[in-house]
Amino acid sequence: METSTEDVAEDTGGPARPAAAVAHATEAAVEPAAPASETAAAAAAPAPAPVATAPASLSPSRAGDFMQCPLLYRFRVIDRLPEKPSEAATRGTLVHAVLERLFDAPAAERTAPTARALVPGQWDRLRESRPEVGELFADDPEGERLAQWLAEAERLVERWFSLEDPSRLEPAERELFVEAELDSGLRLRGIIDRVDVAPTGEVRIVDYKTGKAPRPQYAEGALFQMKFYALVVWRLKKVVPRRLQLVYLGSGDVLTYDPVLADLERVERKLLALWEAIRLATETGDWRPRPTKLCGWCDHQAHCPEFGGTPPPYPLPVRAADSGAVAQGRMGPD
Ligand code: SF4
């Protein structure tokens, strides 16, 4: 399953960054480690249970979750059930980190060998910041599977050079956290892989995908995330991005779309309708499973009625769908 860096922009929990704030997400993710004594104490203490909160904002990934399966959205955003790291998603994170860091080098040094050489170091940093990814290779004492996995990451990095020439690019932003509030109060947030700004001021939004390009009939779904970002940029900067660009490293394709204002207005209307549906489900506790072939990628089958499972008790107040009364209670999605 394709993942994006904006997955780290959660829809709930913790104070939101100020509207229109920007930050370099990967830098935040590798803040200096806590002193060893603190780390040891934290490891010894039981992990605090996640506190359930109502959704407060929307990112492209979570919007996609709700459209795919409302119950999946509930499990991820409200129950915050843990999910195992996957090799594909972790490789995506690693490749994104390499492509971002490569721009630290002078333009002439942004070559494929330089990029490949960044892979081991970025893998070390990723394991430091997210120790759970080390579990992926816990059953690989000889390191053979890890070596293949790293080699595939290097191949994906190398393929980028057949699609773009980083020595000719000077991104205005990398791993840019964006957040904007719509007139309705809905907060949209996400992380944009790369923003290029031409001398004329035209903006290009670029997103890297380590999977394969979708077939043409599914391109609209792939562009949803990009139009979401374009809407946020438009709201923040009053500029409609000139181009949206998806770079598929898995298949060596580039998908572009030049949006117009009407596209962004359409996406805004769609997101408002989606948010209304999420708000209603949050209040009523009515989160329907929607089984598709994507269930094969879902970590939560053990809690899903479609697979004989039972959701955890609903942690938020609920009200009956046909009454205005809100009651403290617990109910499953059915
Ligand atoms: S297994 Fe399928 S239907 Fe069930 S929660 Fe996951 S995505 Fe939804």
* DSSP codes, 31-66: PPPPPHHHHHHHHHSPPPPPPP----EE-HHHHHHH
Helices 87-102 and 112-129, axial angle in degrees (round to 10): 120
Mean pLDDT along residues 280-306 = 97
CB-ligand 1 contact for 310 (6 Å cutoff): no
106/102 Cα distance (integer angstroms): 9
Residue to mutate (ligand 1; options 69, 288, 299; most atoms within 8 A of CB): 69
In terms of C-beta density within 10 A (0-12 exposed, 13-18 middle, 19 or more buried), how is residue 95 classed? buried
Residue with tokens 């506790």: 285
Question: What atom in ligand 1 is closest to the CA of residue 70?
Answer: 8
Residue nearest atom 4 in ligand 1 by C-alpha distance = 304
Q: Is the pLDDT of residue 106 over 70?
A: yes
Q: Is the CB of 232 under 6 A from ligand 1?
A: no
The span from the CA of 120 to the CA of 136, in Å, is: 16
- pLDDT given for residue 73 in this prediction: 98
Coil, strand or helix: which one is 180? strand
Number of helices (H), then strands (E), in the chain: 9, 8
| Per-residue pLDDT at 87 exceeds 90 | yes
Q: Answer yes or no: are the C-beta atoms of 180 and 222 closer than 8 Å.
A: no
Instruction: Work out the average pLDDT over 74-100.
Output: 96
Average pLDDT, the chain: 85
CB 208 within 8 A of CB 5: no
Q: Quick one: 319 exposed, middle or buried, by C-beta within 10 A (0-12, 13-18, 19+)? A: middle
Task: Give the max Cα distance, the chain.
Answer: 65
- As beta bridge partners, residue 58 has 188
**pLDDT (average), residues 39-60:** 64
Cβ–ligand 1 contact at 235 (below 6 Å): no
Q: Is 158 in the pocket of ligand 1 (CB under 6 A)?
A: no
* Cβ 115 under 6 angstroms from ligand 1: no
The response to whether residue 70 sits with its C-beta less than 6 Å from ligand 1 reads no
Least reliable range by pLDDT among 11-20, 129-138, 222-231: 11-20
Ligand 1 atom closest to 299 (CA): 6
* Across 59-70, average pLDDT: 96
Q: Are 188 and 232 contacting, i.e. CB atoms less than 8 angstroms apart?
A: yes
Among 50-64, 79-93, 279-293, 302-316, which is the least confidently predicted range?
Answer: 50-64
Nearest CA to ligand 1 atom 2: 295
With a 6 Å cutoff on the Cβ, whether 58 touches ligand 1 is no
* Number of the ligand 1 atom closest to the C-alpha atom of 305: 4
192 alpha carbon to ligand 1 midpoint, in Å?
Answer: 27
| pLDDT of amino acid 38 | 37
The C-alpha atoms of residue 208 and residue 195 are separated, in whole angstroms, by 12
DSSP assignment of 256-301 = EE---HHHHHHHHHHHHHHHHHHHHHHHH--------GGGGG-TTG
- Token pair, residue 171, equals 């991104």
Residue 35 banded pLDDT, cuts 50, 70, 90: very low
Q: Which atom of ligand 1 is nearest to the CA of 301?
A: 1
Report the separation in Å between the CA atom of 2 and the middle of ligand 1, taken as the mean of its atom positions: 17
304 lines ligand 1 (CB under 6 A): yes
Q: Is the pLDDT of residue 31 over 60?
A: no
Question: 150-173: per-residue pLDDT in tens?
Answer: 999 999 999 999 999 999 999 999
- High-pLDDT (> 70) share of the chain, %: 80
Decide the pairing of beta strands 318-319 and 326-327.
antiparallel
Report the separation in Å between the CA atom of 301 and the middle of ligand 1, taken as the mean of its atom positions: 6
The protein residue whose alpha carbon is closest to atom 5 in ligand 1 is 72
The reply to whether ligand 1 has any atom less than 6 angstroms from the CB of 306 is yes
Instruction: Tell me how far the alpha carbon of residue 4 lies from the centroid of ligand 1, in angstroms.
Output: 20
For residue 102, give both structure tokens: 């490569």
Position 229 pLDDT exceeds 60:
yes
pLDDT in tens, 163-214: 999 999 999 999 999 999 998 899 999 999 999 999 999 999 999 999 999 9
Whether 71 lines ligand 1, by a CB cut-off of 6 Å, is yes
Q: Quick check: CB of 295 below 6 Å from ligand 1?
A: yes
- pLDDT at residue 209, as a whole number: 97
Structural domains of the chain sorted by starting position, each given as residue range(s) with its CATH number in brackets: 173-274 (3.90.320.10)
At residue 74, the pLDDT reads: 98
Output the residue whose Cα is nearest ligand 1's atom 7: 295
CB 75 within 8 A of CB 282: no
Q: How far apart are CA 236 and CA 230, in angstroms?
A: 10
Q: What is the mean pLDDT of residues 23-50?
A: 39
